[in-house]
């Protein structure tokens, strides 16, 4: 009786361990799958230009000429400022009009809104 109990418990522990291994393998595969394109982007940004189309080079001296040239030659600062202007102003406008409308809909009864609130 007792030996059987121990064996059952051991089997339970083993299956729990297997389940946990499965979970972690799944999580790790999922994370690598999600991150790999970003990782590859960073790798290519640090390689010299001639290695862009050569995935077999893994050990290399990182170069920062790409990062320097996007600021010096391609005017990246200007583009970043453009993005900041557009995103800040759209966020502000959308929040302003959206908050007003949401307040109006929730504070007062609107006849045609009945049945639309999710």
Partner 1 sequence: MSNGVSIHTDKRATSRDLHNTRRYMPFVAPAMVVMVLLVAVPFIAVVLLSFTNYELAMPADSFKWIGLRNYDRLLFGTNKLLYYSLGISVGMMVVATVLQMLIGFFCASLLNRDIKFRGLAIACLLVPIAMTPSIASQIWKLMLNAEFGVINYFLKKLFNFSVVWLDKDNSLPSVLLVNIWSMTPYVTLTLYAGLRSLPLEPYESAVIDGANGRQVLMYVTLPMLKPLILLTLLFRSIDMLKMFDVPDVLTQGGPGNITEFIGLHIYRTGFGVTTLVGRASAISVILIVLVGIISLGMIKLMSSEEKG
Point out which residues bind partner 1 (CB under 8 A).
23-24, 26-27, 30-35, 37-38, 40-41, 44, 52-56, 97-98, 100-101, 103-111
Q: Minimum distance from CB of 112 to partner 1 (Å)?
A: 11
> Taking the complex as a whole, how short is the minimal distance between the CB of residue 81 and partner 1, in angstroms?
18
Rounded alpha-carbon distances, angstroms, from residue 52 to 18, 21, 38, 46? 41, 36, 15, 10
**Concatenated DSSP letters for 15-67?**
HHHHHHHHHHHHHHHHHHHHHHHHHHHHHHHHS-GGGTT-TT--S-----HHH
- Residue closer to partner 1 by CB (options 3, 117) is 117
CB-wise, 62 or 98, nearer to partner 1?
A: 98
Beta carbon of residue 80, minimum distance to partner 1 (angstroms, whole number) = 14
CB of 52 to partner 1, least distance (A): 8
> Residue 57 or residue 81: which is nearer to partner 1 going by CB?
57
Helices 65-72 and 2-46 sit at what angle, rounded to 10 degrees?
A: 50
For partner 1, the closer of residues 71 and 96 by Cβ is 96
C-alpha distances in angstroms, 13 versus 7, 9, 16, 21, 70?
10, 6, 5, 12, 56
């Amino acid at each position: 009786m007792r030996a059987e109990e121990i064996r059952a418990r051991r089997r339970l522990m083993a299956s729990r361990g297997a389940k946990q291994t499965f979970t972690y393998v799944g999580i790790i595969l999922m994370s690598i799958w999600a991150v790999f394109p970003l990782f590859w982007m960073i790798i290519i940004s640090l390689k010299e230009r001639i290695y862009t189309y050569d995935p077999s080079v893994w050990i290399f001296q990182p170069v920062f000429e790409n990062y320097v040239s996007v600021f010096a030659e391609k005017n990246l600062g200007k583009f970043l400022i453009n993005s900041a202007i557009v995103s800040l102003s759209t966020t502000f406008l959308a929040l302003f009009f959206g908050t007003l409308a949401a307040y109006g809909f929730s504070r007062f009864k609107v006849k045609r809104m009945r049945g639309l609130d999710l």
